[in-house]
């Protein structure tokens, strides 16, 4: 499969009160066409920063991209002029944010918000009638039951799940090739979560989208992604296909994350008296402004040795297509 989006050695720094905070350190990911790539990690490990950095949306007053490249169909995005960048942003690469409640402008009717995106990205000039048709089509695509009523509603009149559907409709209005979903279901409750994920997967297949799915939930990854990158403290620590990650996790952090998940078989076993305590990873995510030396995971690592401390390990391909940043792996 053809590579559609490639992030190479991307580093991002934030500046707060004179301190430099490295939010992303040398991150590389590759998204192939028609693929769903999962990015997993705890809160604060830089997942959302990555999503913003790909579209050069890091607020300039807070931080900047220090080095690295973002290639979209072999075209470098970060060096594009603002004007050319606007033609990619939201047009060929769309993004869905975590919180639909605040991502819609409270003062606009849903129809008008989608229309704005349509008017911006469609090459041909659409008549008012055509725009309305398109909006209804989009809302039907994301399975809104009453598209005409929805069009005339204000965001506060919709539920969270419906708002997220609207956000997806807006993201799709430009027929993008790549969709970045930044924790699209975190703000929603579990049943709605399932619906939205099902919708995303279905649309991905139907429209042939390539998706970067950012999440902290391995359950979601198992359902939707083909490949997974695990992030820790601003860098990728492991990357492999989904089944490989689940069956043969090599990095102690990935193992820790997987062990902290309850599995269905085990929860059934509870009733039969067998118990397995869910294991949490001890310690906390390090303060990004004060990272430990060497391997960033070593203070929390159960298999840490002396050699982990002086130098940060490189990302190595241990098995084919399975990359790990750990000197004890393999």
Partner 1 sequence: MWKIFWRRFRRNKLAMLGALIIFSLAVVAVIAPLIAPFNPNQQDILHRLEPPSHKHLLGTDDLGRDLLSRIVYGTRVSLFVGFVAVGIAIMIGSLLGLISGYFGGRLDSLIMRFVDIMLCFPTFFLILMVIAFLEPNIWNVMVVIGITGWPGLTRLVRGECLSVREREFVQAAKALGLSNRRVMFVHLLPNVMAPILVSATLGIGGAILTESALSFLGLGVQPPTPSWGNILTAGKDYITLAWWLSLYPGLAILITVLAYNLLGEGLRDVLDPRMMAE
Q: Write out the residues near partner 1 by the rule CB under 8 A.
A: 52, 55, 57, 60-61, 86-91, 94-95, 97-99, 102-107, 116-117, 120-121, 154, 167, 170, 174
Q: How far is the CB of 96 from partner 1 (least distance, A)?
A: 9
The candidate with the shortest Cα–Cα distance to 236, out of 31, 13, 54, 47, is 47
> Cα(253)–Cα(251) distance, rounded to whole angstroms?
5
Q: Which is nearer to partner 1, 116 or 134 (CB)?
A: 116
**If we measure between CA atoms, which residue out of 20, 31, 22 comes closest to residue 49?**
22
DSSP 295: S
Q: Closest separation between CB of residue 170 and partner 1, Å?
A: 7
Q: Please, what is the minimum distance in Å from the beta carbon of residue 94 to partner 1?
A: 7
Q: Are 285 and 233 in contact (CB under 8 A)?
A: yes
Name the β-bridge partners of 16: 19
Nearer CB in complex with partner 1: 7/324 = 7
Nearer to partner 1, 64 or 316 (CB): 64
Smaller CB distance to partner 1: residue 121 or 143?
A: 121
Judged by beta carbon, residue 86 or residue 319, the one nearer partner 1 is 86
Closest CA to 96 of 171, 38, 162, 161: 171
Nearer to partner 1, 98 or 242 (CB): 98
* Cβ contact 187:220 at 8 Å: no
What are the residue ranges of helices labelled H in the chain?
Answer: 47-54, 82-86, 100-103, 110-121, 128-141, 147-151, 160-172, 190-207, 218-224, 242-247, 252-259, 264-271
What sign does the CA torsion over 55, 59, 62, 64 have? positive
Minimum distance between the CB of residue 275 and partner 1, rounded to whole angstroms? 42
What is the nearest approach in angstroms of partner 1 to the Cβ of residue 93? Answer: 9
């Amino acid at each position: 499969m053809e590579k559609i989006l490639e992030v190479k050695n991307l580093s991002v720094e934030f500046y707060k009160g004179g301190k430099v905070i490295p939010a992303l350190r040398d991150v590389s990911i590759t998204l192939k066409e028609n693929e769903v790539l999962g990015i997993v990690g705890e809160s604060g490990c830089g997942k959302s920063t990555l999503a913003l950095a790909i579209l050069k949306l890091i607020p300039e007053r807070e931080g900047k991209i220090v080095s690295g490249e973002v290639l979209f169909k072999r075209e470098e995005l970060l060096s594009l002029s603002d004007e050319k960048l606007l033609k990619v942003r939201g047009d060929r690469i769309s993004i869905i944010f975590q919180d639909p409640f605040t991502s819609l402008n409270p003062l606009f009717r849903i129809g008008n918000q989608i229309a704005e995106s349509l008017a911006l990205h469609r090459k041909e000039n659409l008549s008012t009638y055509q725009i309305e048709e398109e909006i209804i089509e989009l809302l039907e695509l994301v399975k809104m039951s009453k598209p005409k009523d929805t069009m005339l509603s204000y965001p506060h009149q919709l539920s969270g799940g419906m708002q997220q559907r609207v956000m997806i409709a807006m993201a799709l209005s430009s027929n993008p090739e790549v969709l970045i979903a930044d924790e699209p279901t975190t703000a929603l409750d579990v049943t709605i979560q399932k619906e939205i994920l099902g919708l995303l997967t279905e649309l991905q297949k139907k429209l042939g989208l390539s998706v970067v799915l950012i999440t902290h939930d391995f359950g979601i990854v198992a359902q939707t992604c083909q490949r997974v990158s695990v992030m820790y403290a601003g860098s990728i620590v492991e990357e492999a296909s989904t089944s490989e990650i689940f069956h043969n996790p090599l990095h102690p952090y990935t193992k820790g994350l997987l062990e902290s998940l309850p599995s269905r078989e085990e929860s059934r076993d509870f009733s039969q008296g067998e118990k397995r305590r869910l294991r949490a990873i001890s310690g906390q995510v390090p303060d990004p402004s004060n990272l430990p030396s060497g391997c960033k995971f070593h203070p929390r690592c159960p298999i840490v040795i002396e050699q982990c401390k002086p130098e940060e390990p490189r990302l190595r391909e241990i098995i084919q297509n399975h990359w790990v940043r750990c000197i004890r792996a393999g």
